[in-house]
Amino acid sequence: MKKFPVDLTENGIRTLLNSTDSYARRFTETSLRPLLGYREIKGALSDKQNEFPPVPWDMEKLRAKVKSEVSKHVFGWYGEAESAAGDSTRKNVEAFSKYRITPRYLRSDKSFSYSQTVVLSSKELGVTRLTSPTPIFVAPYGAANLYGKNSDEISCAQGATDANVVYTLGHLTKYNLEKICRAVEGNAYYFNPRLRSPGGAPPFSMFQIYLTDDDDINRSIIERVKRTNLSVLIFTIDAGAGHGGIQMMDDYADFTYASKIAGNLFEDPMFNYKCFLKNRCVGTRTPSVLAYASRRLRIPVAKLARTFDLKSAFTYAREIQFKGMAKQNSDKNPKSKMYPWSVAYLARLAHTRQTISPAYSKITHRRGLPLVVKGVMSVEDAVAVQKSGVDGVYVSNHGGRFVFNSVSPIDVLRQIHQKVKKSDPRFGVWFDSGVRSATDVLIAVSQGAEFVGIGRPVIYACVDNGRGGVRQVLQSILYTLRDQARLCGLTSLAQLHEKNRPVIVHPEKSRS
Ligand SMILES: Cc1cc2nc3c(=O)[nH]c(=O)nc-3n(C[C@H](O)[C@H](O)[C@H](O)COP(=O)(O)O)c2cc1C
């Protein structure tokens, strides 16, 4: 029988199905086929969209493969090059090895439910309950269209949907959020539960924001997020001091800010209005986007569209984005009681059901958006974030890309969880950084993660193999998760928190 990585192409699966080895046949029939969403090998596999070459299932192999496929420049940007920059990333992964899992075989019920109720809570918005088909989601990442080979934002979003996994749209993307949402909802898998696997309801999508220096533009982006029916706003606070700093230069990975990641600004009505006021040009030719600027400036849309100048618009976009990101995580302003970029202020913008941007004054249906703050690494920050009125904390050190020798998020998760839950048991605690396998997901959940983000495995799978790669990597994690959970006697991950089921123990604690 073929050893891993298994050949998952149509021919590979056919070979396994016809294998003389009965174990290989049964494994393929019961596991690989449903895992890949193929109900019938013949019909489903003749569809080209379903056919893709395998990506390595072992994350170390996938990483090594991607390393050999992309430039040093790009690999350095991932924050994984062999330098101090890679150190925290490696430690995040290694930190999981301290946790051990107790197998529990004596259980008659071998069913397993992937479904996860994600609960968030704030004073202003109350309790939000979202049903996710699985306990994992794709962590936000920007600049996908600069990573080469098959890396593309829409491919990644669709691959995640194919696997029935919640996707997070990044702020720094080539395509605007409306376009990516259309691609997700236009995905055949999204509406067809027989094609989606595993889990039940279709996944929702979320948006991660980096603030600009212009509050009107921030409001406009948040308004668009609400309008597009995205379910959660994630505010990333751990990028305020410049992306990666000196080590990125060392790794030849200074991407700074390219026009290919300014898609959300170029297609923003308020941005174009402001851009015209400042530079006498706009960053798009899309009539619906220019309509707002046209109304306020009393210049016909067609005339405005003729001022399109990507280079100047980009210079303006870069300026406001950099300035905003540099101070977005500040919480104090000597001049004003309500500093525009404080977390509390952002929560108010997200939560309000009123129009917050004049560009959208005619919209009647609106709703409050729950806000989760990403990049929290200490109990003190978690408490401050909770006090500021948001709906949840997202424990993460950005995959170890920024701070050298950083403490690993998995090691601070439990303390943060215990502290914030004391004040509000329904306050959300999310997690990412270092998750490379299904057992890492189990460990993260056991330490208090209610929703587990996957970063580089998805990024690399997309680089290596686009949509199909993303789908494979996520499904391989989910499939293994189901089997590992069953071997631990679990029918759902929620049981990890039941008193008499101490499945995962920390070695130091087990010695005492
Ligand atoms: C190349 C790359 C780009 C990223 N871009 C963003 C981003 O734009 N916004 C953000 O909030 N996080 C970003 N992240 C961080 C991820 O959301 C996530 O926190 C991290 O990848 C998790 O760690 P892992 O890669 O070990 O799973 C990025 C991470 C990587 C590796």
Q: Judge whether 423 and 386 are in contact, CB under 8 Å.
A: yes
**Section 150-156 average pLDDT:** 95
Q: Which of 66, 138, 398 to mutate to test the pocket of ligand 1 (most atoms within 8 A of CB)?
A: 398
Q: How confident is the model at residue 360 (pLDDT cuts 50, 70, 90)?
A: confident
101 contact partners, CB below 8 Å, separation of at least 6: 439, 442, 443, 484, 488, 503, 504
How much of the chain, in percent, has pLDDT values that exceed 90? Answer: 53
- Residue 168 CA to residue 207 CA, distance in Å, equals 5
**Which one, of 97, 93, 87, lies nearest residue 403 by Cα?**
87
Instruction: Compute the distance from residue 459 Cα to the ligand 1 centre, in Å.
Output: 9
Residue nearest to atom 13 of ligand 1 (CA): 141
Distances (CA, A) of 126 to 123, 354, 370, 417, 427: 5, 16, 9, 19, 10
Provide the residue ranges of all domains of the chain, joining segments of one domain with +. 1-50, 52-211+229-255+329-351+369-511
Q: Tell me what pLDDT residue 16 has.
A: 73
pLDDT exceeds 90 at position 452: yes
User: Out of 13-27, 159-173, 314-328, 451-465, which region has the weakest mean confidence (pLDDT)?
Assistant: 13-27
Instruction: Compute the distance from residue 399 Cα to the ligand 1 centre, in Å.
Output: 6
**Section 59-69 average pLDDT:** 93
User: Out of 70-74, 185-189, 365-369, 396-400, which region has the weakest mean confidence (pLDDT)?
Assistant: 185-189
Q: Judge whether 391 and 370 are in contact, CB under 8 Å.
A: yes
Surface-to-core class of residue 67, CB atoms within 10 Å of its CB (0-12 exposed, 13-18 middle, 19+ buried): middle
pLDDT tens, 216-250?
A: 999 999 999 998 889 999 999 987 555 555 555 55
CA end-to-end span of the chain: 44
From the CB of residue 236, how many other CB atoms can be counted at a distance below 10 Å?
24
pLDDT exceeds 60 at position 160: yes
Q: Judge whether 17 and 29 are in contact, CB under 8 Å.
A: yes
The pTM (predicted TM-score) of the whole model is: 0.88
Q: Who has greater pLDDT, 425 or 161?
A: 425
Q: How confident is the model at residue 47 (pLDDT cuts 50, 70, 90)?
A: very low
Distances (CA, A) of 464 to 2, 12, 51, 76, 137: 22, 19, 15, 17, 20
pLDDT tens, 91-144?
A: 999 999 999 988 888 877 878 888 899 999 999 999 999 999 899 999 999 999
Instruction: Compute the distance from residue 293 Cα to the ligand 1 centre, in Å.
Output: 34
Q: What is the mean pLDDT of the chain?
A: 84
pLDDT tens, 301-313?
A: 999 999 999 999 9
- Residue 90 CA to residue 152 CA, distance in Å, equals 25
- The DSSP letter of residue 493 is G
CATH number of 52-211+229-255+329-351+369-511: 3.20.20.70
**Section 304-332 average pLDDT:** 86
Q: Tell me what pLDDT residue 198 has.
A: 53
Instruction: Compute the distance from residue 487 Cα to the ligand 1 centre, in Å.
Output: 31
Q: Which of 78, 137, 138, 401 to mutate to test the pocket of ligand 1 (most atoms within 8 A of CB)?
A: 401
Q: Which residues line ligand 1 (CB under 6 A)?
A: 77-79, 92, 139-142, 170, 172, 208, 236, 374, 396, 398-399, 401, 432-435, 453-456, 459
Instruction: Compute the distance from residue 397 Cα to the ligand 1 centre, in Å.
Output: 9
158 contact partners, CB below 8 Å, separation of at least 6: 183, 184, 187, 189, 467, 470
